[in-house]
């Protein structure tokens, strides 16, 4: 058994097949492409979105927070959602 000092503070969980998105994959790529143009112009290597609306707009992940914080990190190569493990598989 791990002690509290040995437990990781975060991890990546890959969930397998994804649920269908509200919009087409091409639409999300268009949104991300436009964002990445602005990021490049401003010299930003990454952006973090924390509003439910922006997370859904860029990733398609719409959630009910129940008080938990969520995020969406966009870089030049990836769009990654950040959520509590209790929401795993969503």
The pTM of this model reads 0.77
Pick 22 or 75 by higher pLDDT: 75
CATH of domain 25-84: 3.40.350.10
Q: How many residues does the chain have?
A: 90
Mean pLDDT of 28-33: 98
Please give the pLDDT value at position 90. 54
**Type and span of the H or E element at 45:** none
- Calculate the alpha carbon distances from 61 to 1, 4, 19, 43, 85 in Å: 34, 31, 10, 26, 15
What residue spans define the domains of the chain?
Answer: 25-84
Please write the tens of the pLDDT for every residue from 55-79.
Answer: 999 999 988 878 888 999 999 999 9
Mean pLDDT of 2-27: 80
Please give the pLDDT value at position 49. 98
């Amino acid at each position: 058994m791990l002690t509290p000092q040995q437990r990781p503070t975060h991890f990546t969980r890959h969930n397998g097949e994804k649920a269908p998105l509200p919009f087409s994959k091409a639409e999300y790529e268009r949104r991300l492409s436009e964002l990445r143009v602005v990021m490049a112009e401003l010299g930003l290597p990454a952006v973090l979105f924390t509003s439910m609306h922006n997370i859904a707009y860029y990733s398609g992940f719409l959630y009910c927070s129940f008080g938990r914080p969520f995020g969406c990190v966009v870089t030049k190569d990836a769009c990654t959602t950040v959520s509590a493990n209790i929401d795993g598989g969503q």
